[in-house]
Amino acid sequence: MKAVVSRSCAIHDAHDTRPSVACIIPVYNHEQRIEEVIRETLELGLPIFVIDDGSTDRTPDIIGNIEGISVIRHPLNLGKGAALLTGFAAAVEHNCNWAVTIDGDGQHRPEDAETLLQAAGDGRRVIVVGRRMGMTGKNVPWTSRFGRGFSNFWVWTSGGPLIKDSQSGFRLYPLPESLYLGVTSRRYQFEVEVLVRAKLQGIDTIEAPVQVVYQDRRERVSHFRPWLDFKRNSAIFSKLIFERIFGIF
């Protein structure tokens, strides 16, 4: 399905050999927090691609009125993984070789992007995952704590890296490599499958500590559906383990 593109942003000169970093913000019905997230991200001074994955609330109007960003819209909801891939492709098209991904729900502090960049500062082509600190706070839902431990174990069992926060969406991805890892998932499962596929292709994953903000349950915006997403996670892990056992990666 063709995406709709609007607005533009300043990009590094194509002849500039320094690392060029873009910020990618996938969003789906995040009208409560998205403007705040974008405003804080703008302070980084980096190109920003906001991928509206078929929002049906006020999100399109809100992001359409913010200057200095590129907006790409999926007419229908295709999933977070699909939104990230759209963002990666747009960043590559504009000569960016790194992408920082920031969720649109206000859980991340965009200022911590510098921590991710510093972690990869030695020139290695790695994925840097923002390991969320403070995941024991009173506003942190049990599904997030349980899901993180469940995911960490099965990512490792599937042949991926052994890390402490495989579900964090605050990441630094190398481009264009991340477009060509053969990831099949297009929803939340993209973020665990990509870690396994990357390792199998020689791209390491490292972690860097970042802040996390969990609003009160009444204010929190989340599209995570515990049982459905657990089923989807189980399906992708089963597929990855099957491929690992039978050597068909």
Q: pLDDT digit string (tens) for 73-122?
A: 999 999 999 999 999 999 999 999 999 999 999 999 999 999 999 999 87
- For residues 181 and 1, the model is more confident at 181
pLDDT value of position 218:
52
- What single letter denotes the amino acid at residue 41? T
Q: What is the CATH number of the domain that holds 206?
A: 3.90.550.10
Residue predicted with more confidence, 11 or 22: 22
Is the pLDDT score of 28 beyond 50? yes
- The pLDDT of residue 232 is 81
pTM to 2 decimal places: 0.86
Q: Indicate the pLDDT class of residue 51, thresholds 50, 70 and 90.
A: very high
Check pLDDT > 80 for residue 146: no
pLDDT score for 14: 40
> Distances from the Cα of 60 to the Cαs of 23, 37, 46, 116, 237, in angstroms?
18, 14, 21, 29, 34
Tell me the pLDDT tens digit for each residue of 161-171.
999 999 999 99
% of the chain at pLDDT higher than 90: 72
**Is the model's pLDDT at 137 over the cut of 60?**
no
- What is the rounded distance in angstroms from the CA atom of residue 42 to the CA atom of residue 36? 10
The number of folded domains in the chain is: 1
Rounded Cα distance between 55 and 33, Å, is 14
Instruction: Report which of residues 189 and 17 the model is more confident about.
Output: 189
- Do the beta carbons of residue 29 and residue 57 sit within 8 Å? yes
Phi/psi-derived region of residue 29, left when phi > 0, alpha when psi is between -120 and 50, beta in every other case: left
